Amino acid sequence: MTAKRTDEPFDRVDVATGRKLLDDQSVKWIDVREPAEWQQVRIPGAVLVPLNRLLVSPRQYLQGDRVVFYCAQGIRSAVACEVAASIGMGQIYNLEGGIEDWMAQGHPVEK
């Protein structure tokens, strides 16, 4: 399910909706966790852009119009969504529950 709160410039997606978006080649997945977290486990096809780097130079890392951000639980990725919106990106999604919920529901990961 996709939900958009009126006070947020991005959509919050649950894991089931996120899984559907993973199959869409036009959607870029960005993991905003730290490198040590990324090395342990990640969603297939995602690229690592730690939140601290994204905050410093968002235009360097954010291109395209459809992006799903995720982290461990969905908190850091919500901040990344706000940053993406501030530079005018279009379709921005935050994976609610992050990779923890993703794994708990049995979706694919890479190690």
Q: Which two tokens stand for residue 98?
A: 């992050």
Q: In CATH, what number is assigned to the domain containing residue 71?
A: 3.40.250.10
At 5 the pLDDT is 56
At 8 the pLDDT is 78
Residue length, the chain? 111
12 found inside a domain = yes
111 found inside a domain = no
At 4 the pLDDT is 53
Domain that holds residue 66: 2-104
- pLDDT tens across the length of the chain (111 residues): 555 555 678 999 999 999 999 999 999 999 999 999 999 999 999 999 999 999 999 988 888 789 999 999 999 999 999 999 999 888 999 999 999 999 999 999 999
